[in-house]
Amino acid sequence: MSEVYPIPAETAKSALIDEKTYHEWYDRSIKDPEGFWAEHGKRIDWIKPFTKVKDVSYNGDVHIKWYEDGTLNVAANCLDRHLAKRGDQTAIIWEGDDPSESAHITYRDLHERVCRLANALTDLGVKAGDRITIYLPMIPEAAVAMLASARIGAVHSIVFGGFSPDALAGRIQDCDSSIVITADEGLRGGRKVPLKANVDKALETCWSVKNVVVVKRTGGNVHMVTGRDSWYEDLVAKAAPTHTPVEMSAEAPLFLLYTSGSTGKPKGVLHTSGGYLVYASMTHQYVFDYHDGDIYWCTADVGWVTGHSYIVYGPLANGATTLMFEGIPNYPTVSRFWDVVDKHKVNIFYTAPTAIRSLMREGEEPVKKTSRASLRLLGSVGEPINPEAWTWYHRVVGDGRCPIVDTWWQTETGGILITPLPGATPLKPGSATRPFFGVVPLMVDAEGKELLGATEGNLCIADSWPGQMRTLWGDHERFKQSYFTTYPGRYFTGDGARRDEDGYYWITGRVDDVINVSGHRMGTAEVESALVAHPKVAEAAVVGYPHEIKGQGIYAYVTLIQGEEPTEELRKELVNWVRKEIGPIASPDLIQWSPGLPKTRSGKIMRRILRKIAENDYGALGDTSTLADPTVVDDLVENRMNRV
Ligand code: WTA
């Protein structure tokens, strides 16, 4: 039995949803989803109201539609509709990498900036349905670019600024973007990131891109290609400050976001407009118990889905004040997060377990010397939070006062699916607790048989919610294959979970070949294909292993081409090679030279064995009798790299 943290009296007094309301709403959302979502669909402004709520099938060709005959504009919902009441309220607090730089942007100001960019993009020939690739650092222009894209009905695809030119090129090519919005350089932890130079490199292999718009962030020297590249500042200065938002269907694509799968190249997860915005805004309001005037800070990068739903779309649709942070937790000091909390009087703070674990290592003093009196609620996302990190977060950061919402969700789900609600859910450290309204988690065994009661198994979701992805860009077949064929008729999450006697969910991590490094998803297949692209590598197999700070580390088994020497230099070269091919987040932590890999007689690599060895759990390798050559295992065990 794990410890239970009851709902604090302070929280209970002011929370939007209490325990009784949670159960009433949840029951209704399951018994009458059409009625429930029709009612909550009204939380956003529709140009033409919807009459149909839901049209979903998880079988056959799989289709997912919500509010399909309604029309709206997502940017108008995030901006225009707030102007009358909160034009002068701060929409975005921007905190720069350097603590001396910050800015407050009101709703009125943000609206004007978005209108100007919408006009500028239109002048460049960008139309509804076109894809816009955004490769920007954490600066307000990133939000402006997203909203301007939404305003003209274009589809944005943000590529995280830490990805390499090759990774960027692959994502541009997959969706045929006609335009890239970037910056001269990014700035993180005092270090410059050559964004424009990366774009130039990427575009050597991308023929679809006609325009590159460049924000001046550092003023660093960059090469501008005549006829292709323009400065953002010049374009918006020339553009008109008002713009009529384009009326879009509820099911019009809003954005694409590439994420790693268990096989092949990254998948372009497609989200549409109406249902996504309803779900992002509703979860933002209730999960974070957002009250008017609260200062809300999500530390994610807009390059990930968390930044989409919980820095930009959810908060702005709710008229919230959202903080956007350019920097990193340990620059200039390890007190930075808490200094920012004090500087801007942050009430709600949402971060990843990996950040908590790395700060935990620095001790309590850097936290305790700050006030943090403004904090009311803490959140966690991206990977399982271990109970030690949870209790440290609660006791040290939150001074034991602030509930923690451990929110489980995925790029594919668009918004949070399993989570506590602060006024409704007693907490257990390490558990994401209970489903949000309308969400029906289902546990199945390997054969797909539903498991009831307290149990452990694979996590599926029985039915749709409005924020769910609709397809994979250009590959509906892969969409069906990836999510709806393992357990037919159900959405398979790829995660394993445990459900306890109180019906609380404990996410145990991925059960497929996706690893979660510092809350970033990485496909083992992607790292493998980067490794084998090196001229000296014959074969590679990549698995995850437990890592104290990152949650999981990347462990690579590499077989070299005949005659190549396994040296320390080569090891370093391979790490750098992967950084260059994908980006620093994909760097292998450990590389083991392996003369052979454990394969079945039909040539299939037995990853189960490789995972065990990487976990240093080589005593429990299980049955190895089906291996073509069982002796390779002895060599791998003997030369294993992880001996903790
Ligand atoms: C993991 C991030 C445990 C999970 C929003 C999921 C979590 C993957 C949690 C999605 C959590 C995310 N507890 N595990 N609270 N949140 N995960 O697409 O394995 O980047 O499948 O979306 O992160 O990662 P993604």
CA distance 11 to 27: 23
C-beta of 458 in contact with ligand 1 (< 6 A): no
C-beta of 408 in contact with ligand 1 (< 6 A): yes
More confident residue, 344 or 602: 344
C-beta of 494 in contact with ligand 1 (< 6 A): yes
User: How many angstroms separate the alpha carbon of residue 45 from the centre of ligand 1?
Assistant: 30
Nearest partner of 417 among 29, 21, 112, 77, judged by Cα: 29
Element (H, E) at 123: helix 107-123
C-beta of 383 in contact with ligand 1 (< 6 A): yes
User: How many angstroms separate the alpha carbon of residue 260 from the centre of ligand 1?
Assistant: 12
Binding residue ranges: 188-191, 306, 330, 382-384, 406-411, 495, 510, 518, 521, 532, 534, 537, 579
C-beta of 411 in contact with ligand 1 (< 6 A): yes
Tokens of 546: 């437990």
- On the question of a cis peptide bond just before residue 387, with omega within 30 degrees of 0, the verdict is no
Which ranges of 205-303 would DSSP assign to H, the alpha helix? 232-238, 274-287
Q: What is the pLDDT of residues 263-307, one digit of tens each?
A: 889 999 999 999 999 999 999 999 999 999 999 999 999 999 999
pLDDT level of residue 60 (50, 70, 90 thresholds): very high
Helix (H, G, I), strand (E, B) or coil at 264: coil
pLDDT level of residue 515 (50, 70, 90 thresholds): very high
Of all residues in the chain, the percent with pLDDT exceeding 90 is 95
Residue-level pLDDT at 644? 79
Q: What is the pLDDT of residues 465-502, one digit of tens each?
A: 999 999 999 999 999 999 999 999 999 999 999 999 99
Binding residue ranges for CoA: 188-191, 306, 330, 518, 579
- Best residue among 163, 521, 524 to mutate for probing ligand 1's pocket (most ligand atoms within 8 Å of CB) is 521
C-beta of 260 in contact with ligand 1 (< 6 A): no
Contact status, residue 337 vs residue 365, Cβ threshold 8 Å? no
Residue written as tokens 């029906």?
440
C-beta of 266 in contact with ligand 1 (< 6 A): no
C-beta of 73 in contact with ligand 1 (< 6 A): no
**E strands, 9-62, in order:** 54-57
**Other C-beta atoms within 10 Å of 529: how many?**
16
C-beta of 82 in contact with ligand 1 (< 6 A): no
Residue minimizing CA distance to atom 8 of ligand 1: 410
| Mean pLDDT along residues 498-522 | 95
Residue-level pLDDT at 602? 84
Q: Check whether 578 has a pLDDT greater than 60.
A: yes
| Mean pLDDT along residues 410-420 | 98
Q: What is the pLDDT of residues 301-316, one digit of tens each?
A: 999 999 999 999 999 9
User: How many angstroms separate the alpha carbon of residue 355 from the centre of ligand 1?
Assistant: 15
Strand partners for 234: none
| Mean pLDDT along residues 633-642 | 94
CATH class of residue range 518-639: alpha beta
User: How many angstroms separate the alpha carbon of residue 259 from the centre of ligand 1?
Assistant: 12
CA distance 253 to 256: 8
Residue-level pLDDT at 571? 97
Q: Check whether 621 has a pLDDT greater than 90.
A: no
More confident residue, 262 or 154: 154
User: If you average pLDDT over every residue of the chain, what do you get?
Assistant: 97
CATH class of residue range 9-498: alpha beta
From residue 229, give the alpha-carbon distance in Å to each of 133, 233, 234.
Answer: 14, 12, 11
Dmax of the chain from CA atoms? 74
Q: Check whether 1 has a pLDDT greater than 70.
A: no
Tokens of 644: 């903790």
User: How many angstroms separate the alpha carbon of residue 133 from the centre of ligand 1?
Assistant: 24
C-beta of 510 in contact with ligand 1 (< 6 A): yes
Residue-level pLDDT at 622? 80
| Mean pLDDT along residues 240-254 | 98
Query: So where are the chain's domains?
Result: 9-498, 518-639
Binding residue ranges for Mg(2+): 532, 534, 537
Element (H, E) at 38: helix 33-41
C-beta of 406 in contact with ligand 1 (< 6 A): yes
